[in-house]
Amino acid sequence: MGLVGESGSGKSITALTVMQLLPWAARATGRVTFDGIDILAASEDQMCALRGDDIGMVFQEPMTALNPVKTIGEQVAEGIRWHTKASRSNAEDRARKMLDRVGLPSAQFPLSRYPHELSGGQRQRVVIAIACALKPKLLIADEPTTALDVVLQAQILDLLRGLVAENRMGLLLISHDLAVVTEMADRITILRHGEVMEAGDTARTLSEQLHPYTRQLAQASMHVPARASTKEIGQGKPLLQVDSVTRDYPGRRTSLLKRAAPIRAVDDVSFSIDPGQSVALVGRSGCGKSTLARMVLALDGPSSGTIRFRGEVITGKSEAELRPARRDMQVVFQDPYGSFDPRQKVEKLVAEPLHVLEKEPTSAERREMVAKALHEVGLSPRDMDKYPHEFSGGQRQRLSIARAIITRPRLVVADEPVSALDVSIRAQILDLFAELNQKLGIAYLFITHDLTVARAITDQVMVMHDGRIVERGGTSEVLDHPQSEAAKALVAAAPDLHRAIARRLQEQG
């Protein structure tokens, strides 16, 4: 069953109700029955026995779902030991096999790794391993592939499809990606404002599109905004210039005095971005995209190489020296919840970049600027007095984008900026990015695994593989006629709604 709808429509709350994990202030009425058990009337002891064993759940944000002070081996083995009373060594063996199955081989990902040592996509694989370790009867997957590249997404979907078939497991798949839902789900339920708009056979529902809201979602999923910029490489003085940048991380300590060989995350990368140009950086999870972005933003320094912004070298500068550059450079991080202070209200969070302006605005001006930014990303000025935990995952990502555009920067580095958004809001946000590009000449470095986003919003595409840029060119040129093996793999694995519906209808005869 695929559960689809906009952010805040009630998808995650529905899943949390099934798990009896609602927030303390929420109350559920009606009836939820699992395997003859009335979930809403079950005691906490009964639910503890069900959760993880009979019902598994993949949560939307992997970093907040994982314990940062426990190794990935401990976290996968924990549920196995609790439910089966297996020995530590047996549980670790089973955890190792599960991690291997979700694409984290022991040679690169020993059980002793911690979540912060993994990329966003790798952390999501750990969460999936935890949920599937005991082969539950029901798996609730809340955006299980949001943080994954398209190649890995296809592998994970194949894994989930195989587990459902092998173990006669039920799957409730929550997703904003209609193509993914069409590929996976026999039936679909479409929610809006907490109510079911349409439900039925997936292929029939999405091909006939009887309900206006279903048509709206289908059109939004294939939405392509009008791009204003068609700049070519090398015209004028570059806004951002990256020259032969390399980034090494220390290897893990093998003993008190010895370390393993350094890990090279970025390997001799060079590129430039012109003013107003929009460039996509695509590649598999863990290929070095986010590491490169952190160096561009001067949050991390390169091991070697030089980065120039507006013609000035920003590598090796102090925070005080970087302050002028910070005015024209903003970022949208991949994990919206992790990038906010949960104790601060939205007004203060969105206004945070304003302190780098030459003339800091007054309280009234600050409030007006925050209200305008919230309106531009589809939120209400009334949201200023709320806290981050009061928003859905997609709404939190909109807050991140509002914070990034409030200073009207010249460059925005967007690390998976729309991966957590439903298709309707994604279309609006992409239109907003295109509009800001046209009106204000903002340049973008889009880091994404979604090739439809790259096609929709960017003029140039760079394909990254194992820390290197292996292909670069015009967006249509690279995505329609890929030359490198890495680019070909990404294009082949990208989900397509029309293709998925046609395949489903053909299977049904």
- Residue-by-residue pLDDT tens, the chain, 509 positions: 999 988 778 888 999 999 999 988 888 999 999 999 999 999 999 999 999 899 999 887 777 889 999 999 999 999 999 999 899 999 999 999 999 988 889 988 999 999 988 877 788 889 989 998 998 999 999 888 766 778 878 887 887 888 788 888 999 999 888 888 998 999 999 999 999 999 999 989 998 889 999 988 888 776 666 554 444 444 568 999 999 999 998 877 766 677 778 888 999 999 999 998 999 999 887 788 889 999 999 999 999 999 999 999 998 888 888 888 888 899 988 777 778 899 999 999 999 888 888 788 898 999 999 999 998 888 899 999 999 988 876 788 788 888 988 888 899 999 887 776 777 777 777 887 888 788 778 899 998 877 888 888 888 999 999 999 999 999 989 999 999 998 998 888 887 788 888 888 887 76
How crowded is residue 237: how many other Cβ atoms within 10 Å of its Cβ?
10
| Residue found under tokens 């999501």 | 124
Domain ranges (residues) in the chain: 2-221, 345-408
Torsion (CA) 76, 77, 81, 84 in degrees, nearest 10: 70
Give the pairing type, strands 138-142 and 55-58. Answer: parallel
Looking at residue 233, its pLDDT comes to 44
Q: What's the predicted TM-score (pTM) here?
A: 0.74
- Residue 246's Cβ-count burial label (10 Å; 0-12, 13-18, 19+) is middle
As a 3-state breakdown, the chain gives helix, strand, coil percent values, each rounded to 5, of 45, 20, 35
Question: Quick one: which of 321, 267, 275 has its CA closest to 298?
Answer: 321
Q: Could you give the angle at the alpha carbon of 24 between the alpha carbons of 420 and 49, nearest 5°? A: 85
Q: Name 242's bridge partners.
A: 271, 307
Say what the pLDDT of residue 156 is.
78
Enter the tokens of residue 173: 């798949």
pLDDT of residue 235: 55
Query: How would CATH label the architecture of 2-221?
Result: 3-Layer(aba) Sandwich (3.40)
Strands 195-201 and 187-192: antiparallel
Residue 25 tokens read as 């202030």
